Amino acid sequence: MLWISRQKVKKLSARLDLYMNVATETLSLFQEFIECVVNSGTDARSEVLALQIAEIRHDCSDMRLRLERAVFTKSLPPAIRGDLLAIVKMLDSIPEHCQSAANAILDQRLVFLPENKEDYIKGAKLVVENFELTSLAVKDAFGKAKCAMELGERIDDMNHRAVEIKRRIIRRIFSSDSPAMHLGGCLEHKEIASRILDISNLCKHLAERIIIASIKLRA
């Protein structure tokens, strides 16, 4: 039964690979957006990038729906189908998170503290790199379980680094003497920092789900 299921799952890989390519493009645009806002503020360029993120995020949503329908039409066992659906849903939350963070930054016309700018750029780069590792884990989810586990460890390590960056940024926010950093301003900046860096945490939880699915298939 599991051998047959793996053959059916394999037929979904082309759709999943296509989704991952589009989602990775969303993350790359998000990194560019963060760098733009950090260096130039919320200008016309950042508005264009946010629109591009929204457009590709919409494409991801359409592709997710097609993937979900494909999962059901393959007549997979309930446990395997459930794992696949959960992975697809968690994957789609990441481009959605990018769009949400970009919109919040633009809506609030956020101006980052100078002492935090370097860490925001580092954090955005780290998020993209962690998603790229997650993409490899997704592609390998129904291959060698060992590879998925090794990637999971690397993803977890990168998430620890993202948490450290987020904590540094938040500490600076609440210790700043800038007039913009009143209580409301501090909370707004903290929320944005969390939205950006927590994408790495989503990658971690996704990797954990992928590892479980990979082990189940090989049980």
pLDDT of residue 10: 66
Task: Return the amino acid letter for 191.
Answer: E
- The reported pLDDT for the residue numbered 2 is 46
Residue 3: the pLDDT is: 46
What is the per-residue pLDDT for 9?
62
Local confidence pLDDT in tens for the 219 residues of the chain: 444 455 666 667 777 788 888 999 999 999 999 999 999 999 999 999 999 999 999 999 998 888 888 777 766 677 777 888 888 888 889 999 999 999 999 999 989 999 999 999 999 999 999 999 988 887 766 555 567 778 888 999 999 999 999 999 999 999 988 887 888 889 999 999 999 999 999 999 988 888 777 777 665
| Closest to 16 measured CA to CA, from 147, 210, 159 | 210
Q: What is the pLDDT of residue 211?
A: 79
The architecture (CATH level 2) of 2-218 comes to Up-down Bundle (1.20)
Closest listed residue to residue 110, CA positions, set 38, 10, 196, 171: 38
pTM over 0.85: yes
Query: Residue 192: what pLDDT?
Result: 93
CB-based contact 173:189 (threshold 8 Å): yes
* DSSP annotation of 116: G
CA distance 93 to 155: 17
Q: Is the CA virtual torsion 56, 59, 64, 70 positive or negative?
A: negative
